Structure 1
Amino acid sequence: MSSIPQTQTADDAAIASRAIVWVGDLTVQQKSDVLESTLFAQLAADKQYSSATEEDTLQWYRKYTDTLGSIGWVVSKADFTEVKYDRTEGTVHDTVLEQLANDRTVSKALYASVSRALLTFARTGSRSDAEKVFDSASIASSSQFASFQIAVASVDDSGDVILTLLAWFYSSNKTVGNALWYSWKNATVTMKTSTLNMTLNSDIYAQVRSMIHNKLNDGNKFDLLVPLSMVYELTEPACTVDICVEKLRMY
């Protein structure tokens, strides 16, 4: 059964609450499983933690990943780092791309998928439905703290769905208006990043697929799932940092 109608999963990326999810190489059913399971886990964490502060968000993230584990996602690797940026000015999306480009553990394929997901999101336009959903979930009530994720799904040689979940948590003494497009001047931004690599146990997830879909549907939560349409050729070469940053600034 395909939980989400095919017209909603035909795109290669989607916003699922505070996550940008790249699902380009997956089947319709696999896309549905990734999007619904990640959204479900976020909502489960939302019930217990507000994400209003860094500590709350760390607790939220633990609940989020625990929920993913309980519905069939098997975590194979987890890394957590903290970075303090002392630049007098910058933007979050610049920082994300530069960090990934400088991380030797990040493959070219992963970097390409993240950059394309960001470009696709940027091209939805300011105050689009996707941006409204994303910022509403990502930005704390104080407007000085935000957290978001970029998730890249693919299929390995065994046919299993794997997910690289990249998360960012950051605070600033300036008002955060857009979680991903936030820019700062004369401020210090403190950022934590987390990377999780997971594999979906399809047998376990098959047992909870209908339950998850029905809970999302009954709670009218599918409005938090916004497909992103591709508006450029997938054959376009992967961005270098400078090229990707420049393209993002154009939107």
Structure 2
Amino acid sequence: MNVENAAYVDAGNLASFVSALPALHQSDILDSTLLAQLAADKKYSRFDETGRWQEVYTSTLGQLYWYITSFSHRQHVPTEAMFSLEDLVLDSLRKIATVAELSLVKETIGRFKALSDDDKRVLVYAEFTHSGRVVDLQVSVADRSSRQGSVSIVFETDQEIMRNLFEEKFCVAELVGEIRIWSMIVTLNEESYEKIRQNVIDKLGSKRDSLILSLYNNGDAQ
């Protein structure tokens, strides 16, 4: 069992894990959510067809023995002239995560912000979270029972986007349309997932090493 908290770039998801969650279960969560992302990517662009992408993503999670207990979609209207993704993520997660989990996510974002622009973790996350002037990112946190709270934030801006999204302040006046936020609470049924674990690993192949990167251990794969 892990004795420390953990955090990973998992393609377009910045994933945090509490220390009590066994390493095997962390891998199961990372693998299955990566496979769901890639399955959705094959059908739709996460940047141009976000709603349909989300439908395929959540449907695939269900096929991988994730049980959705809460799901919501809303439009967000900022109250200030500028906003940061860190503040928006933490404010959105506050509705579905504990205080300790929020603290862990804040620590994870802090680790990510400290990375250089040419760090492979920043490069992978950038590839899967913004294209042109569209931002579409996911941040999640999982507890000891493989229950995961996640938020996806999507918007378009006329502002030039930095590679490290969490380092940037976004101007509300530069937004094109609304900010859309998906929030979800899901739990992985480990007993059922065990039966398909190797199949998921085989399907992912080398992508497990190239798209799942630890924010600890110098960015080594899981």
- Normalized against structure 1, the TM-score is what? 0.76
Structure 1 equivalent of residue 201 of structure 2 = 213
Which of 128, 148, 170 is matched with 1:184 structurally? 170
Q: Is residue 169 from structure 1 mapped to residue 154 from structure 2 by the alignment?
A: yes
Aligned residue identity for 2:126: D
Cα distance 1:124–1:213, how it changes in 2: closer, same or farther (>3 A)? same
Shifted more, 65-74 versus 81-90: the winner is 81-90
Question: Could you tell me how far 1:194 is from its partner in structure 2?
Answer: 1.5
Give structure 1 stretches of 5+ with no counterpart.
Answer: 1-5, 232-251
Q: Give 1 or 2 for the bigger CA radius of gyration.
A: 1
Using the TM superposition, give the Cα deviation of residue 116 of structure 1 relative to its aligned residue in structure 2, in angstroms: 1.4
Residues 38, 199 of structure 1: CA spacing in aligned structure 2 closer, same or farther, 3 A cutoff? Answer: same
Q: Give unpaired runs (5+ residues) of structure 2.
A: none
**In the alignment, which of 83, 88, 93 is matched to residue 95 of structure 1?**
88
- State the aligned residue count: 212
Q: Is 1:37 matched with 2:32? A: yes
Distance 2:63 2:117 in 1: 36
Letter in 2 for 1:184: F
Question: How do 1:21-32 residues align onto structure 2 when only pairs under 5 Å count?
Answer: 21-25=15-19, 26-32=21-27
Amino acid paired to 1:15:
V
**Conserved? CA contact 2:36–2:60, under 8 Å:** yes
1:199 aligns with one of 160, 168, 187:
187
Deviations 1:213-249 (A, max 9, x none): 01111x5452011111189xxxxxxxxxxxxxxxxxx
The CA deviation string for residues 115-139 of structure 1, in whole angstroms up to 9 with x for no partner, is 1111121223333111100010111
Q: Which amino acid aligns with 1:227?
A: S
Distance 1:22 1:220 in 2: 19
1:99 is displaced (CA, Å) by 4.7
Q: Which amino acid aligns with 2:182?
A: S
Paired with 1:196 and 1:225, the residues of 2 have a C-alpha distance of: 21
* 83, 105, 117: which one aligns with 1:126: 117
What is the match of residue 223 of structure 1?
210
- Verify the 8 A CA contact 1:124 1:228 in the aligned structure 2: no
- 1:58-113 Cα deviation digits (max 9, x unpaired): 21111111111111100011122211236433322233334555x5x543123112
Shift of 1:21: 0.5
In structure 1, what is the equivalent of residue 44 of structure 2?
Answer: 49
| 1:65 match | 58
Give 1:11 shift: 6.5
State the match for 1:248 in structure 2.
Answer: none
Shift of 1:36: 0.7
Pairwise CA RMSD of aligned residues? Answer: 2.3
Deviations 1:176-224, CA, capped at 9 Å, x for gaps: 233333323462433111111111111221111001101111x545201
Contact 2:89–2:139 (8 Å) recurs in 1: no
Question: Structure 1 residues 181, 213: CA separation in 2 closer, same or farther (over 3 Å shift)?
Answer: same
Q: After the TM superposition, which residues 72-111 of structure 1 pair with which residues of structure 2 at under 5 Å, given as runs? A: 72-85=65-78, 87-100=80-93, 103=95, 106-111=97-102
